[in-house]
Amino acid sequence: MDRLDNTVRPYAWGSTTAIPALLGTEPTGEPQAEMWMGAHPGAPSRTGRGTLDEVVAAAPERELGTATVARFGPRLPFLLKILAAGAPLSLQVHPDLDQARHGYADEERRGIPADAPHRNYKDANHKPELICALTEFDGLCGFRDPEQAAALLDGLGVPSLKPYADLLRAHPEDAALREFLTAVLTADPDDMSRTVTETAAACARLGGAYAPYADIAHHYPGDPGVLAALLLNHVRLQPGEALYLGAGVPHAYLSGLGVEIMANSDNVLRCGLTPKHVDVPELLRVVRFRAADPGVLRPEASPDGEEVYATPIDEFRLSRYVLADGAAPADLTRPAPQILLCTAGTVRAGDQELTPGASVYVPAGEKAEVSGTGTVFRATVRI
């Protein structure tokens, strides 16, 4: 069992206080957005045996187990994070596996540098993800019903929004959502900036259901992503609740602290709320234009005390244990790699004492017992 020393990424949208408060450290005054736990080459966790990607590469079957290597190849299939949003993240979608493989191969063939600002596909993998709230957590997830979105636009009383509301009512669901997003992202920038400014003022004046969009517009004045955001469901998670975000589902995190797990990929296509590249044709190819309930997840308890967040993919499996003082240790041993993360209390994992924010990596098959008083999240694969 290896104690992990993890990198905190200072993205501009990060909270300056949430991760320090969890870790019990003093804020630096700089944003601390994400703490990465895993073997991603961008910021691999450090262990006493080297970085975790080096550890896995040296002996994949010993570290990951034969079944994991046979199913996913010789690398850790997931990346675990603590995410602290102090401002809205970009509105984005992720490709499915076939789209990622095709897009990556195409950009490689065309010789687009891996670090080029206009590159869409950093790798050939998909990026399903799950966010579990540690505090109250706000986000946007999935399309509203077009009629409901049109009624929301009407309620703002902004004349320049009427053509967009009419688009939503003029077509069947798929075409209505596609036409709206296309119109927003291809509009004249000056006209769009004026419309967004008027929309932001109306959202701020009306408050209520419009308040989250007023805050988004405050952070991204004039950005067409503000109108795109009005198409999406606003979700407020309570601690312990989660959202699963599959391929093609537009989403954005707005505020709060959470545990996030994803397939080991960097592939993101942005819809707005960002100064970064927005590739409209590729985005429209990847987005799934259908309205859906966001589907808030609550953990499913098993007799041994494990609470599992059920998802339809195999690259990751997230669960938690809420441990009570004096209870028998929970045996977490399994033939697959694991990362254990403490988020509350004081927990013993093997010979390691974990306090909030501390984590360990457990190679496949290694004995893993946890005890104490607190909460431990368990990240592994489904095999």
Confirm whether 110 is a catalytic residue. Answer: no
31 Cβ contact list (under 8 Å, min separation 6): 10, 11, 12, 13, 14, 15, 16, 86
Query: How many whole angstroms separate alpha carbon 335 and alpha carbon 38?
Result: 18
Q: Is 280 exposed, middle or buried (0-12, 13-18, 19+ CB in 10 A)?
A: middle
170 with 284: CB under 8 angstroms?
no
In 3D space, the residue among 270, 257, 314, 267 whose CA is nearest the CA of residue 133 turns out to be 257
* Catalytic-role residue among 3, 270, 317, 378: 270
Per-residue DSSP letter, 161: G
161 with 184: CB under 8 angstroms?
no
273 with 89: CB under 8 angstroms?
yes
Structure tokens at 59: 């002996």
Query: How many whole angstroms separate alpha carbon 60 and alpha carbon 66?
Result: 8
3-state secondary structure of 359: strand
Q: Report the residue count for the chain.
A: 383
66 phi, psi to nearest 5 deg:
-65, -35
CA 23 to chain centre: 21
Query: How many whole angstroms separate alpha carbon 224 and alpha carbon 190?
Result: 11
Query: How many whole angstroms separate alpha carbon 57 and alpha carbon 49?
Result: 12
Alpha carbons within 13 angstroms on the beta-carbon side of residue 380 total 27
Determine the residue type at 207.
G
Determine the residue type at 66.
T
Q: What is the largest CA-CA distance in the chain?
A: 65
Distances (CA, A) of 300 to 134, 243, 269, 373: 17, 14, 32, 20
Q: At what angle do helices 173-186 and 162-170 cross, to 10 degrees?
A: 150
346 with 355: CB under 8 angstroms?
yes
| Catalytic residue numbers, as ranges | 270
